[in-house]
Amino acid sequence: MVCLNNLSGKKASVYSIITDESQYAFLDRFIMEYEKEFFQDLLSMMGRLKSIGNVTGAVSTYFKLDEGLEWDDQVCALYDIPDKHLRLYCIRLSEQIVIVGGGGPKNVRAWQDDPKLAREVNEMMHYSKIIRTRLKDNTLRISLNRLKLEGDLLLIR
């Protein structure tokens, strides 16, 4: 996991995930995939993530919660602009820590009906499980000021 410096601030830290398969963070891949078709939506998302990091924190209502299949997996989606439906899936650990993944356009009723979205949500559910296990066994910790993740940030797929 990596902390995105350009979005994180005094109110929240915004993380993303880099895997061995790609040198790009999940958020970067999301941007590269959709910046041509959804440029304004991406601007809206980045502006809001910057607000989250620097002004308000990750208030729960900024996200569509309970997107994952487990009740406590904390997988959610940053609210999309009405009528555009570009979903960015995240793990909202707290009001101070958000881990941003990937996503895509949601033109179906449920993400399970779209293979691309299903892949993205399943990916976040997988990493959410690893993170929650690490937090339980203390190999991953939340800093005293609640803003950072400390310990073993290397998530093996």
Partner 1 sequence: MENFDATNTNYTSDLVNNLLSHISPAEQDQTDHKMKMAAKIHAALKAKGWKSLDLARELHLKSPSLVSKWLSGTHNFTMDTLVDIQRVLGIRLLDADLAIAPPPLNVNVTVPVVPSSLKDVIQGPLYKIASQSGGLTGSPVNA
Q: Which residues bind partner 1 (CB under 8 A)?
A: 1-7, 16, 18, 23-25, 27-28, 31-32, 35, 42-44, 46-48, 50-52, 55-57, 59-62, 79, 81-82, 153-154
39-51 vs 26-34: helix axis angle to the nearest 10? 150
Closer to partner 1 by CB, 132 or 151: give it: 151
Closer to partner 1 by CB, 59 or 110: give it: 59
Shortest distance in whole angstroms from residue 137 CB to partner 1:
19
| Look-up of token digits 């009405």 | 82
Burial of 92 (0-12, 13-18, 19+ CB in 10 A): buried
Locate 59 and state its tokens: 């208030």
Query: C-alpha distances in angstroms, 60 versus 7, 72, 135, 154?
Result: 18, 14, 21, 26
Closer to partner 1 by CB, 28 or 66: give it: 28
Closer to partner 1 by CB, 2 or 118: give it: 2
Find all residues with CB under 8 Å of 96, minimum gap 6, and list them. Answer: 11, 12, 13, 57, 58, 146, 147
